[in-house]
Structure 1
Amino acid sequence: MKKDDQHIREINNVAKDKTPQAQPNNPLHGVKLAAIVEFLHKKYGWEELDRRMKMNCFAVNPSVKSTLKFLRKTEWAREKIERLYLRSID
């Protein structure tokens, strides 16, 4: 019985470690990448995003799905898109 209790405590500790921390100074906290891409697409359109960002994901057969795939693999591009988003919501 003690081993079962210990196992449950270990599972609870792991779950606590994975709980998202509050980030009051991070304006992107809780904003999904898909929501960012959809917002920017509605605001600017693919052509304007390509002109501003110079990324093929906006120039060659652009779609939300393909853009998300690229941004999730390419950190520099995601950071650039997040900066544009932050400038756009102000």
Structure 2
Amino acid sequence: MSDTPPNDPLHGMTLEKILLALVERFGWPELGRRIAIRCFNQDPSIKSSLVFLRRTPWARAQVEALYIEMKTRPSSTAGKDGRPRLFAPKQG
């Protein structure tokens, strides 16, 4: 058995942790824009989203893919805290 962590970016992550990380990073409006499902766009909550995602494999796959993309490809518009900047920094 090896002491190195597996290469799977979802290793040790629950669906709830993934969803919380995505909401923290993007917020509900942006998450709903990126993955157009009702539970992200109409009265969103972690609980209702988890119920839907656990019953809907295609939606869960999209959420997991967005999480992997977020982890492996940092945003070029992210600030020091990792959140997207709304405005580009002034030059000069």
Give yes or no for TM over 0.5.
Answer: yes
**Matched residue of 2:54: which SS?**
helix
Structure 1: segments with no counterpart, 5+ residues: 1-22
TM-score (norm 2): 0.70
Alignment of 1:42-81 (within 5 A): 42-81=24-63
Among 17, 26, 31, the residue aligned to 2:13: 31
CA–CA separation in structure 1 for the residues paired with 2:8 and 2:47: 25
**For residues 41-86 of structure 1, what are the alpha-carbon distances to aligned partners after superposition, in whole Å with 9 as ceiling and x for unaligned?**
0100110011111110101110011110100000000000000000
What is the root-mean-square deviation in Å for CA atoms of aligned residues? Answer: 1.3
**Bigger radius of gyration among the two:** 1
Percent of matched pairs sharing the same residue: 47
CA–CA separation in structure 2 for the residues paired with 1:75 and 1:60: 20
TM-score (norm 1): 0.71
After the TM superposition, which segments of 4 or more aligned residues of structure 1 sit over 4 Å from their partners? Answer: none
Letter in 2 for 1:74: T
Structure 2: segments with no counterpart, 5+ residues: 73-92
When you count helix as a share of all residues, which structure comes out higher? 1
Shift of residue 24 of structure 1?
2.7
Which sits farther off after the overlay, 64-73 or 23-32?
A: 23-32
Report the number of matched residues: 68
Which has the higher relative contact order, 1 or 2, with Cα contacts under 8 A spaced 6 or more apart? 2
